[in-house]
Chains A and B, each alone.
Chain A
Amino acid sequence: MTSAVITEHLTKKYGRKTALSDCSLDIPAGHVVGLVGPNGAGKSTLLQLVCGQLNPTAGGLTVLGGPPVTGSPRIGFVAQDTPVYGSLSIDDHLRFGKHLNPSWDDDLARERIERLDLDPKQKAGKLSGGQRAQVALTLAIAKRPELLLLDEPVAALDPLARREFLQGLMEYVAESGTSVVMSSHLVADLERVCDYLIVLVKSKVRVTGEVEELLATHHHVTGARVDPEKLGPGRTVIQARHTDVQSSLVVRSTAPIDDPAFSVAGIDLEDLVLAYMSEAANGRDRVLEKQR
């Protein structure tokens, strides 16, 4: 399996503020990768590092086998808030796309705009958020990139526009086989489309892996109150909630959990991600408790 992006100890600081710290990842090609994490986790920073918009403070990264550069015809990027030129028409956007990209697929772009029922003469500044996002996506994919990066493309969209946007994206991916990395702070957006997941919390990577594999190896475990440390080897507790008599755990375990003392259930992607996010939060709390 080839890698789309490899990062090694990648760190980005803005002044004293660390946006991304010691991030080592291997994102395989040919996947739709969901990059999920709360606001401010470093998702945008990671994506901008990958497309060469930012330079790392420390560490290194390889994108499609080479160093990241802006203006690469092999990478498509839809920036946060899907910026477009307000005073230019959709047609103008397609024209400069054609001028600026040697690999531009004009038929694809025009067909997409037509299918979206957009008037090419309309000024981009007058479009709705959903339409604007669609134009930005059209520009990015008509470039025929090998790697498509999307930074919270649906964050500002209403549910219907979200669905339409993701549908359009999926149609394109199914047809072209492009690798996609898409960030969101909402798991629900990614659940339908992603087959690979990266959870980024507080500028650190919490978990990565194929969605199927993650779902297969994580379990909801409930039972009489137990000490999470005594669960046995090969089992990692991601999240633990205790009442006086009962424990409710999210456990990572490659082997099935057959212990009759617990009732074991599957987990959905949202719960899994939330478990990792709250693990990070608990980690901080624990440190605070020790200091007290």
Chain B
Amino acid sequence: MSPQTKSTFKVGKAQLDLLEELTNANGVSGNEIDIREIIRKKVAPYADEIKVDGMGNLLVVKHAKKPNAIKVMLDAHMDEVGFMIVEEDGDGLYEFEQVGGGDERQFVSKPVCVGSQKLPGVIGSKPIHLATDDEMHSVISQQSMRIDLGPAGKGKAKRGDYAAYATKFIRSGDAIFAKALDNRLGCATLIELLRTAPDHIELLTAFTVQEEIGLRGAMVAAYDFYPQLAIAVDSTPAFDFERPDGNENTQYNCKLGGGPAIYIADRGTLSDPRLIRFLTRIAEENKINFQYRQPGGGGTDSGALHVTRGGIPSVSVSVPGRYAHTAVMVARISDWQDTLTLLQNALAAVTPEILSGDRA
């Protein structure tokens, strides 16, 4: 392919409205139906094939306009961390369990939305006035909290009902405050890339289920598509604060404002070096702001994608976000825009030749 002219993706009102709609909707792992229905409507005008598989993944294909096109899979998980109702204690107070790896330290006093009836509630516990010295210095256990639906919620929720944070989307300048940016940012990214897909690739997009509880949707989606390469698009935590002791912060994972975070290594995947080089080249040639996510723990759907069947060269690209797996995350519009720009330019430039040599 000849060198591309950089196309800059502009995040405008349409994209922010899309992200607002996706983050305000609820889709705790195993209960992604609302998110799936929103996405299905959004992608319908651009898709050649749409199907929902046995696990609930939404698989959307946009065919190449040329024969023998490279098969590229993009993956973004639809699900978010949340809760499940276990037992009513009476008077609209409910015991609950976590779904996915939530941050127990911040459960208390968060508004939630319960069940298909979308019952309003709040997670409650002992108030500070009554807390003992010990309790003041320890994490309140989830077992001692209740989801409080008030008297109107008495008998309304039942065992197995899902609950999600009720946080609503706010934009302030370049910042976005919302729940479930992990990973509605990825979903919105894939929708936009379907809209703008180039003609020379067979674009296979998977909006997957149950990532937060073990990459379960991605396994079967990748088996079905079995592409030549795969990119998981996700949101990754940024902990880019100054350290209180004045020492250099050496474990920030990634930084807000640093652009898309390209994964090299995490707990589940050693990204294909050919794809890291390719994305790096696209970013550098087009002067797109990007960063490498610090190698270390964590993981994305790539962990399932790359070991599917005979193996799939895989990499992840994430939009940085602070306060992951809590009731509200913070991300930057500029980082999302740079992520869209990187991936759009990468799709425009991708050819089978980038995988022609053996893996490093």
Note whether A and B form a binding pair. Answer: no
